[in-house]
Structure 1
Amino acid sequence: MIAVTGATGNVGRALVDRLLAAGEPVRALTRDPERAALPERAEVVRLRTEEPAALFDGVTKLFLYAQAVTPQLLAAARAHGVRHAVLLSSGIIADGADETHPIHVLHATAERHIRESGLEWTFLRPNAFATNALQWAPQIRAGDTVRGVYAGARTAPIHEDDIAAVAERVLLDDGHEGAVHRITGPAATTNAGQVEAIGAAVGRDLTFVEVDPEQAGPELFPHVPPQMLGRLLATFRESVGVPPEITSTVERITGTPARPFSRWAQDHAKDFGA
């Protein structure tokens, strides 16, 4: 059996669907099983990090997101027969990175705990998620103008199901133990370009209006903790006009090329009011 933490998140939910389709038994670990709305074939269990021993009976492989990683949980997993942990880490962990950045600290700490756990491990390090564009959904549902920072910031956004596809193969195939897989989308695009692609997907002409970063606040980044906003804006500023990293990891591991942002926008058109 494979246990999936963060099973109601974008990547976790896609991974649960993929594993079930492959005929694998799945234990979906979530903090709110009553609202999980996962497929009936998934065994949905409440994630209690303070009581981890009950989570892993019969589990041999484990998919983790960084916030769920604790030494106690990993020790319980190993004690109950889990052999291989796959972590959804972050592409921010790279040579020359700012090791004081909160996102770096979170994921580097999770990676260290897993390395020290005695489990076999694989780290997935995706860069920008295409789902970050959902931050613009309320504005797009309300009108044809999107206010945001750094219209020219460049990324290679990755479809969440492409991350899940890599995770599926890493969990089901041999040979990924001790590997670090960096994951990106197939092509660079700007923030303004993403909004244009969403407009094409929903059948409307959308306009990106750049906001002075000094004026950006909770209304533009409602899910970003205030203490992290400054560092996040600095990261965006550093990506203006800079070609992003692009990898072939998705195609190399799954045999299928990563999907472009335009495809992601089509897949999520309903989220933007189409």
Structure 2
Amino acid sequence: MGKILVTGATGNVGSHVVSRLAEAGLDVRAFARRPERAPAGVEAVQGDLTAPESLEPALKDVESVFLLWPGFSVGNAEEVVEAVARHARRVVYLSANVPGADDTHYAAIERLIRRTPLNWTFLRPGGFAVNTLGWAEQIRQGVVRWPYGQASRALIHEKDIAAVAVHALTSAGHNGAAYHLTGPAELTQIEQVRTIGEVVGREVRWAEQPIEEAREQLLAAWGEPAFVEQALTAWGSFVAAPERAVDTVQRLLGRPALTFRQWAEDHAADFR
């Protein structure tokens, strides 16, 4: 098997992809803005997908690419995808499951990839369990103030996304596949907070946040009004129409997806 380039190699998912590939003895190259943060013993190169000229050298002798796009807009994605297609044969793209949202940057990048001769696989996870780290300070204070407490999702552990990515990168039968990925069970946001509290040994209560207040807070943090509105609309939709768990992880990996409680146990130190 040829060399595998992992973009976003020091992030929540990419770092696990790099580690799993390295532990399997495969030839992996980590591409990151801060390559010194890559796992020890792995070839790491400095680069940024928003500066495509830094990608070309990293693609030398690369057969497969794990692609994680930084940011909320398409930007120069076409240039990046074309560079990948010039050098590699296979790409596994970390997209997202956004039902009916063909105007997202995820969908736009999928369309760019489909137009190339690359063998492609799209990973479309639903909610990331790791995003609940945004509650860490509030968890420590004992009250989480956030909107849509009854929104229910089957949050997925980043380790499971990485495991599926490695499976798609290293085995046959995934060309042209788009995999919807979730955790094994649905929990409301109130239940998620309660679970984290139980794991860290602290009683935590939920305080429903007004939507306008949440909008202002997210605009200050993200700076992308369109993405903020998409996020709020999606979260609100999960109140009446919960994000249902699917068994894709189990079908592909031959084991159940990791639970939200297992995720919380893995990250307990982040909430203490």
Once the two structures are superposed, what CA deviation does each residue of 1:12-56 show, in whole Å capped at 9, x if it has no partner? 01111111111112111112224xx22222111112443132111
Task: State the AA in 2 paired with 1:86.
Answer: V
- Are 1:3 and 2:15 an aligned pair? no
Of 149-158 and 226-235, the range deviating more from structure 2? 226-235
Summarize the alignment of residues 193-232 of structure 1 with structure 2, pairs less than 5 Å apart: 193-219=191-217, 223-227=221-225, 228-232=227-231
- Contact 2:218 2:228 (C-alpha < 8 Å) held by counterparts: no
Q: Which residue of 2 aligns with 1:42?
A: 42
The 5-angstrom pairing of residues 1-274 of structure 1 reads 1-34=3-36, 37-48=37-48, 49-51=51-53, 52-67=55-70, 70-80=77-87, 82-92=88-98, 94=99, 97-100=100-103, 105-141=104-140, 143-219=141-217, 223-227=221-225, 228-273=227-272
Deviations 1:203-261 (A, max 9, x none): 11111111111222454676433513233222211111423222111111111110111
C-alpha separation between the residues in 1 aligned to 2:202 and 2:85? 52
Q: Show CA shifts across 1:96-140 (max 9, x none).
A: x1334xxxx210111111111211100000000001101101212
Question: Could you tell me how far 1:71 is from its partner in structure 2?
Answer: 2.9
Task: Mark the CA change 1:270 to 1:89 in structure 2 (over 3 Å): closer, same or farther.
Answer: same
What is the TM-score normalised by the length of structure 2? Answer: 0.90
Residues 139-192 of structure 1, C-alpha deviations (whole Å, 9 max, x = no match): 123x11111111100100000000001001100101101111110011000000
Q: Which runs of 5+ in 2 are unaligned?
A: none
CA–CA distance in structure 2, aligned partners of residues 209 and 73 of structure 1: 43
Whole-angstrom distance in 2 between the partners of 1:221 and 1:200: 31
C-alpha separation in 2, matches of 1:131 and 1:226: 21
Q: Give the Cα separation in 2 of the matches to 1:221 and 1:146.
A: 19
Aligned residues, how many? Answer: 262
Return 215-224 or 57-66, whichever deviates more. 215-224
Cα shift at 1:57 = 1.3
Conserved 8 A contact 1:30-1:44: yes
The answer to whether the Cα contact below 8 Å between 2:142 and 2:203 also exists between their aligned partners in 1 is yes
SS in 1 for 2:5: strand
Report % sequence identity.
Answer: 41
Structure 1 alignment gaps of length 5 or more: none
